[in-house]
Amino acid sequence: MFVLFSDILPLDENGLSATREFLLKVVEILMEYIKETHDRQAKILEFKHPADMRKQLELDLPDTGVTLQQLVDDCSITLKYQVRTGHPRFFNQLSCGLDLVSMAGEWLTATANTNMFTYEIAPVFILMEHVVLQRMREIIGFTGGDSILAPGGSISNLYAFLAARHKMFPDYKSRGLHSIRGQLVMYTSDQCHYSVKSCAAVCGLGTDNCVEVPSDERGRMIPSELERLILERKSRGHIPFFVNATAGTTVLGAFDPLEPIADICQKYKLWMHVDAAWGGGLLFSRKHRHPRLTGIERADSVTWNPHKLMGTLLQCSTVHFKEDGLLISCNQMSAEYLFMQDKLYDVQYDTGDKVIQCGRHNDIFKLWLQWRAKGTEGFEKLMDRLMELSQYMVRKIKAQPDKYYLILEPEMMNVSFWYVPTRMRSMAHSREREKLLGQITPVLKGRMMQAGTLMVGYQPLDDRPNFFRNIISSAAVTEKDIDFLLAEMDRLGHDL
Ligand code: HLD
């Protein structure tokens, strides 16, 4: 069968049945991948080093196009070597899992293939954005306000930074750097996501003016240190203007104390941003929202990524503002070819001029569809279940203190620990033993990837050498997967 791309729509106007045949074959491959993703006997990945991987794949771009059957085979081999991030034993990232309703939404999104900058070409999706983002602001505790979906949490944080600077220094937009007389300074904890520091680098402050506030032994910002560092910079004539509080830090899952931070921001008239990219999902849970996120409604802006705890497909990241009108005022460039003011409809529905990008991907439909399926209660149940599983893992770790060393009691779904191989079990815990545990951690991770049976992330943090950070944010995980995880680590690592 030598059917080519020119034998299907749109080049062959009579190609509907060939088109259907081709697409159904692709869907079959996707179904096979979905089946394997949920099969606990199947591997998470087939690891190969880059040079070997390259040999398995026919990546070259041909001068003469290949057949549709070859494309189907290309799709198949692509997924063969893809890491199954929805596998119940994939604990490696903040975004794990494969929510099939959200995935169906992503399929529809791809088919609709539209840009989100104007109502003109995305009417239904734009209205969905309004409804979903307003609901998210209500859950945060904002009345009114404005929001936008951005390409990732880092860019969401950047939008917050830009709005804050615009609010305080509206001349910056037209007059640039020289309109601000003095050194702007921003604050964030030493546990924050690196994107906060990146705002200082890309927005002209310089990273030296992103002040890292020390955190306590559980990774939470120390408010008295924040105040001290604000006063210290003020005494040098600098202009503190922005504080980022993190709700769910990347490694430890710590929550900065929002109420005391809000008090300080109020006292010194600073913009308060909450980076809840990771922890935001817990806003759904009446059981776990407080005290972790108490006070979030006092923030000026909040980043919240549905693609993490809520399991929405990648990527889906939102940023919310208490004050309406800031996004448009800050970012509007009034491109005349796109945002004409004399259109047929109410041009307030053209969201494109609220953002610094032009093209914007449709990240709303998969979230809207998922929310319709689960209901708000479904998200609450999911949060409570993920917390329950994390606590289960903590109990299991504590029950086997010879094999696993829990680093701290987690506030959310990050479980941080060292695996202890047999030869180190009789050693008393000390800095020396931590150093040795830190050395075997990447070796064990390597063994996991070679075996293909388990993936758990690791990193050093501050003066702690490498340790495992296990994330439970997939609805596919059950207690038996956590039992497996611990047993598998021991099977793979006892002799290290
Ligand atoms: O910045 C991060 C974003 C994600 C994610 O969206 O899954 C960091 C991590 O995950 C991570 O797993 O450390």
Note down pLDDT in tens along the chain; length 496 residues: 589 999 999 999 999 999 999 999 999 999 999 999 999 999 999 999 999 999 999 999 999 999 999 999 999 999 999 999 999 999 999 999 999 999 999 999 999 999 999 999 999 999 999 999 999 999 999 999 999 999 999 999 999 999 999 999 999 999 999 999 999 999 999 999 999 999 999 999 999 999 999 999 999 999 999 999 999 999 999 999 999 999 999 999 999 999 999 999 999 999 999 999 999 999 999 999 999 999 999 999 999 999 999 999 999 999 999 999 999 999 999 999 999 999 999 999 999 999 999 999 999 999 999 999 999 999 999 999 999 999 999 999 999 999 999 999 999 999 999 999 999 999 999 999 999 999 999 999 999 999 999 999 999 999 999 999 999 999 999 999 999 999 999 999 999 9
* Residue of 83, 90, 91, 94 best suited for mutating to test ligand 1, as the one with most atoms within 8 Å of CB: 94
In this structure, are 302 and 415 located in the same domain? no
In this structure, are 325 and 461 located in the same domain? no
Q: Residue 91: inside a domain, yes or no?
A: no
In this structure, are 189 and 310 located in the same domain? yes
In this structure, are 239 and 299 located in the same domain? yes
Q: Is the CB of 276 under 6 A from ligand 1?
A: no
Strands 317-321 and 271-275: unpaired
- Residue 147 CA to residue 123 CA, distance in Å, equals 17
In this structure, are 342 and 293 located in the same domain? yes
Q: Is the CB of 249 under 6 A from ligand 1?
A: no
Q: What pLDDT is recorded for position 239?
A: 98
Q: Residue 412: inside a domain, yes or no?
A: yes
Q: How many domains does the chain have?
A: 3
Q: Residue 89: inside a domain, yes or no?
A: no
* Residue of 90, 95, 197, 415 best suited for mutating to test ligand 1, as the one with most atoms within 8 Å of CB: 95
Q: What pLDDT is recorded for position 198?
A: 97
Among all chains, which residue has been given the structure tokens 């696993």?
404
Among all chains, which residue has been given the structure tokens 């032994």?
217
Within 8 A by CB and 6+ apart from 106, the residues are 313, 365, 366
> Could you tell me the distance, in angstroms and rounded to a whole number, from the CA of residue 167 to the centre of ligand 1?
30
**Closest-CA residue to 85 (of 314, 419, 358):** 314
In this structure, are 383 and 339 located in the same domain? no
- Residue 5 CA to residue 24 CA, distance in Å, equals 15
Q: Residue 347: inside a domain, yes or no?
A: yes
In this structure, are 285 and 226 located in the same domain? yes
Q: What pLDDT is recorded for position 2?
A: 83
Q: Which two tokens stand for residue 29?
A: 């491959």
Q: Is the CB of 303 under 6 A from ligand 1?
A: no
Strands of 264-409, DSSP E: 271-275, 301-304, 317-321, 404-406
**Domain boundary pick from 336, 361, 386:** 361
96 near 474, Cβ under 8 Å? Answer: yes
Summarised one tens digit per residue, pLDDT across range 112-125 is 999 999 999 999 99
Summarised one tens digit per residue, pLDDT across range 206-263 is 999 999 999 999 999 999 999 999 999 999 999 999 999 999 999 999 999 999 999 9
pTM over 0.85: yes
Q: Residue 143: inside a domain, yes or no?
A: yes
In this structure, are 170 and 215 located in the same domain? yes
**Domain boundary pick from 337, 361, 385:** 361
Q: Is the CB of 94 under 6 A from ligand 1?
A: yes
Q: Residue 90: inside a domain, yes or no?
A: no
In this structure, are 126 and 274 located in the same domain? yes
Q: Is the CB of 308 under 6 A from ligand 1?
A: yes
In this structure, are 133 and 248 located in the same domain? yes
Q: Residue 354: inside a domain, yes or no?
A: yes
Task: Give the number of residues written for the chain.
Answer: 496
Q: Is the CB of 459 under 6 A from ligand 1?
A: no
| CATH number of 278's domain | 3.40.640.10
Q: What pLDDT is recorded for position 29?
A: 98
336 near 101, Cβ under 8 Å? Answer: no
- Residue 488 CA to residue 396 CA, distance in Å, equals 14
Instruction: Name the residue range of residue 450's domain.
Output: 372-493
> Could you tell me the distance, in angstroms and rounded to a whole number, from the CA of residue 125 to the centre of ligand 1?
26
In this structure, are 347 and 404 located in the same domain? no
In this structure, are 417 and 345 located in the same domain? no
**What is the distance between the terminal CA atoms of the chain, rounded to a whole angstrom?**
53
**Domain boundary pick from 45, 62, 84:** 84
> Could you tell me the distance, in angstroms and rounded to a whole number, from the CA of residue 73 to the centre of ligand 1?
31
Tell me which H or E stretch contains 488.
helix 479-493
CB atoms within 10 A of CB 350: 23
Q: Which two tokens stand for residue 420?
A: 């202890």
Ligand 1 atom showing the smallest separation from residue 152 Cα? 6
Q: Residue 105: inside a domain, yes or no?
A: no
Q: Is the CB of 156 under 6 A from ligand 1?
A: no
> Could you tell me the distance, in angstroms and rounded to a whole number, from the CA of residue 89 to the centre of ligand 1?
17
